[in-house]
Amino acid sequence: MANTIPRISLNDGNTIPQLGFGVFQIEPRDTAAAVGRALEIGYRHIDTAQMYGNEAEVGQAIRGSGLDRGEVFVTSKLSNAFHRPDDARKAFESTLSTLKMDYIDLFLIHWPLPTLYDGDFVSTWQTLEEFQRDGRARSIGVSNFQVAHLERLITEARVVPAVNQVEVHPYFGNEEVRAYGRKHNVITEAWSPIAQGNVLSDPTVADIAELVGRTPAQVVLRWHIQRGDVIFPKSTTPERIEENFRIFDFELDDAAMERITSLDRGAAGRQGGDPDTFDYLPA
Ligand code: NDP
């Protein structure tokens, strides 16, 4: 079985590689090397954000790879500081100029921030709709949106988000949000797919890894793939970047899938913030 990355269809007619490479918490000075390595291995999808501070180095690595711009799917996200429409417009221009690109494949609202900006993320979303209309964002989506937040966009705005990027891993299945996405054709992207490494020593995961002759990370990443979510594990370790890519030449059976799904701890399993109260604003 070849290790070919499937592409998932989005509700706007575009497609996205189901596996990408995430660059959260990679220092700017280490980013070009890590992204360059990922592109050499075969990753064709990079997930960055304004708040990660490494968009310039992502752009540099893609230009240095020798690949055509159209071969790499690039996502970035609006900083929490810039939800007001005029700020969002300037921030989006800054993302394109920092990446040195004339379009981005996918641009997201990073957090809904329902306790800030008078709870108005709808006008922020309508500003992203402009970026898609003028062609500078091929697809637009959201991140960390709960069902109630998605419902507001679907009733008050025109465009249904192409994706919702939320925390999902074996300790936090986030099933209600995933189910809403399936119903409304919003693809779920699972962030922290290996819970920042915290699920890898789980005895159930270790047992399945031994049974199938793969590493714990490969087993967990494969579980996400078979559930249909998009993932982009992060690593600055060259061997792990490669290990995380080799997940399309084996399968988990229903029993293994079910055992991993049953590790869900509900809200207690979250590694990151609760989107209903998360209100981080960068300085
Ligand atoms: P991940 O679940 O991808 O885990 C990354 C951690 O696991 C790192 O410490 C890495 O170490 C380690 N690791 C990676 N591969 C392996 C392996 N094969 N074996 C053992 N350890 C491994 O966490 P992230 O939080 O980075 O999530 C992935 C991406 O999701 C982010 O980079 C970002 O793009 C996105 N994200 C989005 C958020 C949002 O709010 N929208 C929030 C958080 C993440 P090392 O680097 O040392 O190898």
pLDDT in tens, 167-202: 999 999 999 999 999 999 999 999 999 999 999 999
Closest ligand 1 atom to residue 194 Cα is 2
User: Could you tell me if the CB of 238 is within 6 A of ligand 1?
Assistant: no
Ligand 1 atom closest to the CA of 143, numbered from 1? 41
- Alpha helices by DSSP H, listed for 46-168, are 55-64, 85-99, 122-133, 147-156
pLDDT tens digits, one per residue of 227-272 = 999 999 999 999 999 999 999 999 999 999 999 999 999 999 999 9
> What percent of the chain stands above pLDDT 90?
99
What is the CA angle 56-59-63, rounded to 5? 140
Q: 280 catalytic, yes or no? A: no
Quick one: DSSP state of residue 169? B
The residue count of the chain comes to 283
The residues facing 8 across adjacent strands are: 16
Write the residue with the smallest CA distance to atom 3 of ligand 1.
Answer: 233
pLDDT digits (tens, 9 = 90+) for 234-244: 999 999 999 99
pLDDT at 283: 87
Question: Distance (Å, rounded) from C-alpha 183 to C-alpha 95?
Answer: 32
| Structure tokens given for 173 | 């299945």
For ligand 1, say whether the CB of 144 is within 6 Å of any of its atoms. yes
pLDDT higher than 80, residue 2: no
Under a CB-based contact definition with an 8 Å cutoff, are residues 84 and 118 in contact?
no
CA of 118 to the centre of ligand 1 (A): 32
DSSP 3-state of 55: helix
Please tell me the distance between residue 147's alpha carbon and the centre of ligand 1 in angstroms: 25
| In the block, residue with structure tokens 């049953």 | 262
pLDDT of residue 3: 81
Report the pLDDT value the prediction gives residue 269, as an integer from 0 to 100. 98
| Coil vs helix vs strand at 42 | coil
Query: What atom of ligand 1 comes closest to residue 236's alpha carbon?
Result: 46
The DSSP result for 238-258, as a single string, is: HHHHHHHH--SS----HHHHH
Backbone phi, then psi, for 277, in 5-degree steps?
-125, -10
CA distance 208 to 212: 6
Tokens, residue 235? 């690593």
CA of 22 to the centre of ligand 1 (A): 7
Which letter, b or e, does each residue of 63-86 get, where b requires 16 or more Cβ atoms within 10 Å of its Cβ? eebeeeeeebbbbbbbbbebbeee
pTM above 0.95, yes or no: yes
Across all residues in the chain, what is the average pLDDT?
A: 98
pLDDT tens sequence across 107-148:
999 999 999 999 999 999 999 999 999 999 999 999 999 999
pLDDT at 223 over 70: yes
Between 2 and 65, the more confident residue is 65
The residue annotated as part of the active site, out of 43, 52, 171, 180, is: 52
pLDDT of residue 1 exceeding 70: no
Contact residues for 252 (Cβ-Cβ < 8 A; gap 6+): 208, 212, 219, 222, 223, 226, 260
Query: Ligand 1: distance of its center to the CA of 126 in Å?
Result: 30
Domains annotated on the chain, with CATH: 2-194+227-248 (3.20.20.100)
Taking the C-alpha atoms of residue 94 and residue 79, their distance in angstroms, rounded to an integer, is 11
26 CA to centre of ligand 1 in angstroms:
10
Residue nearest to atom 24 of ligand 1 (CA): 192
